[in-house]
Amino acid sequence: MAERLLTTRQAAEWLGVGPTSVKRWADDGRLACVRTAGGHRRFEPEVVRAFGRSVDGPSSEVDALVDLLAARTPTATVQARLLELKVSHGTWAGAARVLGDVLTRIGERWRAGTMSIAAEHAATERLHRAVTGLADQIPVATSAPMCVMCVAGGDEHALGLILAELCARSAGWQTRWLGIRSDLETIAEAVEDSGVRMLAVSASPWSEDQLSLTKLARDLGEICDRAGVQLVLGGRGAWPEHLHRAARLTTFEAFVHLLEETARRAVPRDAPPRREVSSVNAE
């Protein structure tokens, strides 16, 4: 008799990690899963066993980075390690994917009681400073297209967006950082700039109010549609999956691909045609 499929929590227990790590690996395509009629992930036991035998490398890499951030390491040392990570994974998008796992592991340690809230905040801030400094060092032409970046209203977690900024600048884009608590009027004013080609809005897993995010996505879609700007909804918040005015992305690689495609099809903003934007889902 075939073994029963594992739930996300059961797979996490087999692998000795938190459910969030399993969801991320599945969404990134590293751990194969099937979906139930209700959209829940299910895992074949043998697939989980095989993944477990190969995960020691990536898992050790993630834990080593968490330990580095938790050890009051100087920013310059953290940046040097991140540059090594970028070289080993080939692109900043690949490095950012690992750093997303680092953020997940920090949260898991806090929930398990092995990292205090103060230590969790310090490690996250240390990574924040290192990534921001590296992004600022990437030269970008003043004629390059601009991506305006902000966090969904009510969400205080901006590090995922900071990683996206690093990817955008490495793809040759200028960035304008609006950060957290940006109202619609401020965002509308920002995207009216003639150099802006994209608005990237991030919502972390803590943004669970899909009704509010759906309304926000519709309002932002109207703003971007009027301005002829590509709207990107990123992060693992409860964004709606199907909106014709937006691209829904869940990986940094997909974000870089869309940046490249958008730059190739860019047209003058003084006479933008009505855009037809396809929904992109990295799952």
CATH of 1-54, one of 2.40.240.10, 1.10.1660.10, 3.40.50.2300, 1.10.3720.10: 1.10.1660.10
Q: How many CA atoms lie within 13 A of 84 on its CB side?
A: 8
pTM: 0.74
Show Cβ contacts of residue 4 under 8 Å, excluding neighbours closer than 6 positions.
Answer: 45
Pick the closest to residue 47 from 26, 32, 59, 57 (CA basis). Answer: 32
Cβ–Cβ < 8 Å for 160, 100: yes
Rounded to whole angstroms, the Cα distance separating 156 from 24 reads 20
Total number of residues shown for the chain: 283
CA distance 100 to 231: 22
Each residue's pLDDT tens digit in the chain (283 positions)? 456 899 998 888 777 667 777 888 888 888 899 998 888 999 998 888 888 766 544 567 888 899 999 998 999 999 999 999 999 889 999 999 999 889 888 888 888 888 899 999 999 999 999 999 999 999 999 999 999 999 998 888 889 999 999 999 999 999 999 988 889 999 999 999 889 999 999 998 888 899 999 999 999 999 999 999 999 999 988 998 777 789 999 899 999 999 999 998 865 555 444 444 333 333 3
CATH number of 141-264: 3.40.50.280
Any idea where the domains of the chain sit in the sequence? 1-54, 56-137, 141-264
Token digits for 6?
Answer: 């594992």
